[in-house]
Structure 1
Amino acid sequence: MTDKYDYDLIVIGAGTGGNGVARMAAAAGWKVASIDSLPYGGTCALRGCDPKKMLIAVTEGVDWAQNLMGKGLAARASVDWAEMIAFKRTFTDAMPPKIEAGLETAGVTTLHGEARFSGSDTIALNGQTLRAKHFHIATGARPMTLNIPGEDLLTTSTEFLDLPERPDRVAFVGGGFIAMEFSHIARRAGATEVTVLEMMDRPLGNFDPDLVAMLVDATTDLGIDLLLGAKVLKVEKQDGALVVTVERSGGVETVICDTVVHATGRVPNIDGLNLEAAGVEHGPRGIKVSPAMRTTNPAIFAAGDCADSGPNLTPVSANEGRVAAKNLLAGRDDRSVDYPPIPSVVFTLPMVATVGLSEAAARDQGLKFDTQSKKTESWYSSLRVGAKWSGYKVLVEHGTGRILGAHLIGPGAEEQINLFAMAMGTGLTANQIKAMIFAYPSYASDLGSMV
Structure 2
Amino acid sequence: MTETLDLIVIGAGMAGINAAKKCARAGWSVAIVDELPYGGTCALRGCDPKKMLRAGAEAVEAARRLKGKGVTGETRIDWPALMKHKESFTDQVPESMESGLEEAGVQTLHGRARFTAEDRIEIEGHGEIGFRHALIATGAKPRPLDFPGAEKLIDSTDFLNLAELPRRIVFVGGGYISFEFAHIAARAGAEVTILDRGGRQLKMFDADLVDMLIERSRAAGIEIVAEAAIEQVEDADGAHRVIYRKGDENHAIEADLLVHGAGRVPAIDHLDLAAAAIETEHGGVKVTPWLESPSNPRIFAAGDAAASPGKPLTPVAVFEGKIAASNMLKDKRTEPDYTGVPSVVFTIPELARVGLLEGEARARGEVYVSFTDTSGWFSQKRLGESHAGAKVIAGTDGKILGAHMFGPDYAELINVFSLAIKLGLTAAQVKAMPAAYPTGASDIGSMF
Q: Residue by residue, what CA displacement relative to the aligned partner does 1:303-357 show, whole Å, maximum 9, x if unpaired?
A: 0000011100000000101111111111x12421111111111000121111111
Give 1:94 deviation, angstroms. 0.7
Partner residue, 1:368: 366
Q: Residues of 1 paired with 2:73 and 2:404: CA distance?
A: 33
**1:314 paired to 2:314:** yes
- Matched residue type, 2:184: I
Within-5 A mapping of 1:194-233: 194-233=192-231
Give 1:212 deviation, angstroms. 0.6
- Matched residue type, 1:243: R
Q: Residue by residue, what CA displacement relative to the aligned partner does 1:128-185 show, whole Å, maximum 9, x if unpaired?
A: 1111111111000000001111111111110000000001000000000000000111
Give 1:5 deviation, angstroms. 4.5
Contact map agreement 1:285 1:308 (CA 8 A) in 2? yes
Q: What TM-score comes out, normalization by structure 2 length?
A: 0.97
Partner residue, 2:421: 424
Partner residue, 2:325: 325
Give 1:284 deviation, angstroms. 2.5
Partner residue, 2:55: 57
Q: Residues of 2 paired with 1:6 and 1:429: CA distance?
A: 52
Percent pairwise identity: 49
Give 1:402 deviation, angstroms. 1.1
Cα separation, partners in 2 of 1:24 and 1:167, compared to 1, 3 Å: same
Q: Residues of 1 paired with 2:103 and 2:422: CA distance?
A: 36
Partner residue, 1:448: 445
* Counterpart secondary structure, 1:232: strand
Q: Residues of 2 paired with 1:100 and 1:305: CA distance?
A: 21
Partner residue, 1:345: 344
Q: Residues of 2 paired with 1:86 and 1:250: CA distance?
A: 45
Partner residue, 1:85: 83
Q: Residues of 1 paired with 2:73 and 2:370: CA distance?
A: 38
- Matched residue type, 1:102: G
The number of residues matched between the two structures is 445
Give 1:70 deviation, angstroms. 1.0
* Counterpart secondary structure, 1:247: strand
Q: Residues of 1 paired with 2:356 and 2:100: CA distance?
A: 39
Partner residue, 1:171: 170
- Aligned match for 1:410, one of 398, 403, 407: 407
* Counterpart secondary structure, 2:292: coil
Q: Residues of 2 paired with 1:380 and 1:124: CA distance?
A: 60
Give 1:286 deviation, angstroms. 0.5
Structure 2, unpaired ranges of 5+: none
Q: Residues of 2 paired with 1:40 and 1:4: CA distance?
A: 24
CA RMSD of aligned residues (A): 1.2
* Counterpart secondary structure, 2:360: helix
430-439 vs 113-122, greater mean Cα deviation: 430-439
Within-5 A mapping of 1:187-198: 187-191=186-190, 193-198=191-196
* Counterpart secondary structure, 1:320: helix
Partner residue, 1:301: 300
Q: Residues of 2 paired with 1:42 and 1:376: CA distance?
A: 37
Q: Residues of 2 paired with 1:335 and 1:403: CA distance?
A: 26
**1:379 paired to 2:373:** no
Contact map agreement 2:351 2:410 (CA 8 A) in 1? yes
Q: Residues of 2 paired with 1:290 and 1:4: CA distance?
A: 30
Q: Residues of 1 paired with 2:239 and 2:116: CA distance?
A: 45
* Counterpart secondary structure, 1:104: helix
Contact map agreement 1:198 1:227 (CA 8 A) in 2? yes
Q: Residues of 2 paired with 1:146 and 1:58: CA distance?
A: 31
Q: What TM-score comes out, normalization by structure 1 length?
A: 0.97
* Counterpart secondary structure, 2:312: coil
* Counterpart secondary structure, 2:94: helix
- Kindly report structure 1 stretches of 4+ aligned residues shifted beyond 4 Å: none
Q: Residues of 1 paired with 2:383 and 2:233: CA distance?
A: 41
Give 1:292 deviation, angstroms. 1.4
Partner residue, 2:357: 358
Q: Residues of 2 paired with 1:354 and 1:179: CA distance?
A: 18
Partner residue, 2:44: 46
- Matched residue type, 2:314: T
Q: Residues of 2 paired with 1:234 and 1:124: CA distance?
A: 39
Q: Residues of 2 paired with 1:55 and 1:374: CA distance?
A: 31
Partner residue, 1:289: 287
Q: Residues of 1 paired with 2:49 and 2:240: CA distance?
A: 26
